[in-house]
C-alpha cells in the first residue's frame, strides 16, 4: 500500500482501492492507496513563541508526531479531547482574546498532551499535564 499525502494538514482520511499513481504506467494489477484529503482553513489566532517542555518533546519524539500538525489543529479550533464546556470556552476565548487550551490523547498507552496559548497570544506551550 502506498501513502499519498497532499499536505501536512490532515483533516479527512479516505481509503481508496484500485488507483495507480498518475505519473506511473497503468497496470491491470490493482494497487491500494491511502489518500489523505485536505481541507484548509485559516488559523483562528496566532500562537506567538512556541515552547515545548521536555516531557512533551519526549512524547512527540517517541511517537514520531510533528508538533506543527497539533499546533495547526489547535489554531483551527480543534481542541482535541476536551469536553463541550471547554470547547465552548475556547470558542469564546478566540473572540475575547483569552487563554486557549487544547488536549490531545496520543499513542498507546494513551498519553495526554496539552497545548496552551496565552491570552495575549505571545506564547503557546506544549506540555504534559504533570508539567503544569
- Give the whole-angstrom CA distance, residue 91 versus residue 80: 13
Q: What DSSP designation does 80 have?
A: B
Question: Using an 8 Å Cβ cutoff, are 54 and 95 in contact?
Answer: no
Does residue 44 lie in a domain region? Answer: no
Q: Is the same domain home to 62 and 88?
A: yes
- Residues 27-42, mean pLDDT to the nearest whole number: 52
Dig out the grid coordinates for 113 from the structure: 498532551
Say which range, 20-34, 37-51, 78-92, has the weakest mean pLDDT.
20-34
Does residue 54 lie in a domain region? Answer: yes
Q: Is the same domain home to 27 and 59?
A: no
Per residue in 51-105, pLDDT (tens digit) is 999 999 999 999 999 999 999 999 999 999 999 999 999 999 999 999 999 999 9
Q: What pLDDT is stored for residue 53 in this prediction?
A: 97
Q: Is the same domain home to 116 and 66?
A: yes
Q: Is the same domain home to 65 and 29?
A: no
Q: Is the same domain home to 25 and 87?
A: no
Report how many domains make up the chain.
2
Q: Give the domain extent around 58.
A: 49-131
Query: Comparing 45 with 38, which gets the higher pLDDT?
Result: 45
Does residue 43 lie in a domain region? Answer: no
Which of 91, 116, 118, 120 minimizes the C-alpha distance to 104? 116
Q: What is the pTM of this model?
A: 0.70
Q: Is the same domain home to 108 and 56?
A: yes
Amino acid at each position: 500500500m502506498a501513502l499519498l499525502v497532499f499536505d501536512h494538514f490532515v483533516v479527512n482520511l479516505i481509503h481508496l482501492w484500485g488507483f495507480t499513481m498518475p505519473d506511473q504506467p497503468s497496470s491491470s494489477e490493482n494497487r491500494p492507496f491511502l489518500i489523505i484529503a485536505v481541507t484548509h482553513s485559516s488559523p483562528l489566532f496566532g500562537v506567538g513563541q512556541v515552547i515545548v517542555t521536555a516531557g512533551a518533546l519526549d512524547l512527540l519524539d517517541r511517537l514520531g508526531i510533528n508538533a506543527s500538525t497539533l499546533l495547526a489543529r489547535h489554531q483551527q479550533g480543534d481542541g482535541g479531547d476536551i469536553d463541550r464546556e471547554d470547547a465552548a470556552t475556547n470558542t469564546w476565548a478566540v473572540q475575547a482574546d483569552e487563554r486557549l487550551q487544547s488536549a490531545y490523547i496520543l499513542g498507546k498507552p494513551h498519553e495526554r498532551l496539552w497545548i496552551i496559548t496565552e491570552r495575549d497570544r505571545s506564547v503557546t506551550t506544549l506540555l504534559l499535564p504533570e508539567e503544569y
